[in-house]
Structure 1
Amino acid sequence: MREAVIVSTARTPIGKAYRGAFNATTAPALGAHAIKNAAERAKVDLEEIEDVVMGCALQQGTAFQNVARQSALRAGFPIGVSGMSLDRQCASGMMAIATAAKQVIVDNMTVAIGGGVESISTNQTNDMFVRPDPWLLANLPETYMQMIETAEIVGERYKVSRERQDEYALQSQQRTHAAQQAGKFDDEIVPLASVMKFVNKETGESSDVDVNLDKDEGNRPETTLEGLAGLKPVFKGGQKVKEGKYITAGNASQLSDGASAAVVMEAKEASKRGLSPLGVYRGIAVAGTHPDEMGIGPVYAVPRLLEKHGLKIDDIGLWEL
């Protein structure tokens, strides 16, 4: 049976949405940087790539009209290299890699690229156009519930206290800082020069600033538990949550701009080329939950995946959630 292996990865640094280095960088520009460098690291000729699959949530703004194909064109890939864009919200990039792997296994492709891109800065703007479905709005309005409200609901429903959330946020800040200091992310990041839109808070005037980002933005190593505890919840006036109790500017994840890509190759071909796989694709499982909660999908999807492969939780050496 054919196997699909990941032979290279590359990603942009993560920029802070709206105020970061990539706040004026388009989604195709971010995607192109990732897929081009991933291909170069795998030492594959661009003509060999049979498909570029990219995940992207809320595909509008600069991510409209098949951002995967646009990224491939911007990266200088031959016209004959196709592209497909997927949207499974937060799991979009992972789904794209799984799809690329299945194309290698089932459709006899030799080389494909899977990855993800998100440009919050150029997507979720004041010009963003949405029109809810009337039936869903009347019968299941939670379909359109804001993510921050779903987080409030999860905290309440699963009894994840504000204190535990603050502690977890602090640990995340500390781990990120330690990893950056130790250079843990350096091999996966390819620095990207861009033009940042800077707005003077006093005058309101905007200007362009040349920047070259080589590490993820947003980490605050000076964060303390006391500081987090002193922040007030920011959400109110939701469908179900009238006054938030949990989510603050300190324990919520930031909005970001960036892209990542992985070159997926048929295993025997990779061996023939002397490429050492970074990983082997074994499978994927998905599960739906009620629209009023987020982040709970893996609780149901993981057992499905393990069962399909005759595995138990203890059989897995490293989990990333």
Structure 2
Amino acid sequence: MPDALILSAARTPIGRARKGSLTSVDAYQLAEIAVGAAVERSQIPGADLDDLFLAESLQGGGVIGRNIAVRLGMTNVPGVAINRHCASGATAVQLAAATIMAGMADVIVAGGTESASTMPRLTKVAPGAQEPTPWSPQSHPDAPGIPAFDMSVTIGENTARLHDVTREQADA
């Protein structure tokens, strides 16, 4: 079984949702910066990459891995999106390592990206209501001993607030 090695790493600064200098920088721009730097630091030509595993949580779907590969001129790299609200970047690295160790690929770029400041905002008309209200998908339903609100806190203050709004509407 081949070993999976980390050849380089890159990250962007951490920002706070809707505050500071990163408020207008979306997850795609952040990913482009970090992935581009990691590939450059690795000194592996883009043509030698087998895949790009990129995690995101709140960007509205699509294949962000392929999008970033194309933005960086690596049109031969397929790309995949991984959506697991908590620890999705770590999951991307895990899946890349497992893929390499299984002999299914040799070189994969893996990581995560997110921007709570620029994430798409949703509305929904609740049953019995006339007007749409803020809404967020219920990605973390209540579980015994683990209220959904506690999980929402880990994915952003705004999402937690939206979960509360949805919960209040459901209870009404």
> What is the TM-score when the length of structure 1 is the normalising length?
0.40
Change (3 A) 1:104 1:17: same
Match of 1:143 among 132, 141, 145: 141
Q: Aligned residues, how many? A: 143
**Deviation readout 1:89-115 (Å, 9 max, x if unpaired):** 111101100111112111431110110
- 8 Å CA contact 2:100, 2:106 repeated in 1: yes
Tell me which amino acid in the other structure corresponds to 1:49. Answer: L
Larger radius of gyration: 1
**Deviation readout 1:147-186 (Å, 9 max, x if unpaired):** 883269xxxxxxxxxxxxxxxxxxxxxxxxxxxxxxxxxx
- 8 Å CA contact 1:50, 1:110 repeated in 2: yes
* 2:3 paired with 1:3: yes
* Identical counterparts, % of pairs: 29
Q: 1:58 Cα shift? A: 2.6
Alignment partners' CA distance in 2, 1:23 and 1:238: 25
Tell me which amino acid in the other structure corresponds to 1:70. Answer: N
Tell me which amino acid in the other structure corresponds to 2:102. Answer: V
* 2:145 paired with 1:121: no
Greater RCO structure (CA 8 Å; 6+ sep): 1
> What is the TM-score when the length of structure 2 is the normalising length?
0.71
Q: How does 1:1-321 map to 2 (within 5 A)?
A: 1-60=1-60, 64-74=61-71, 76-125=72-121, 128-129=122-123, 143=141, 149-150=149-150
Structure 1 stretches lacking a partner, 5+ long: 133-139, 153-235, 241-321
- 8 Å CA contact 1:47, 1:77 repeated in 2: no
Alignment partners' CA distance in 1, 2:118 and 2:27: 8
- 8 Å CA contact 1:27, 1:67 repeated in 2: no
- 8 Å CA contact 1:149, 1:238 repeated in 2: no
The equivalent of 1:264 in structure 2 is none
**Deviation readout 1:99-156 (Å, 9 max, x if unpaired):** 111121114311101100001111153xx25699xxxxxxx997179x883269xxxx
**Deviation readout 1:23-65 (Å, 9 max, x if unpaired):** 11122111011111001111110111110001111331xxx41
- 8 Å CA contact 1:7, 1:42 repeated in 2: yes
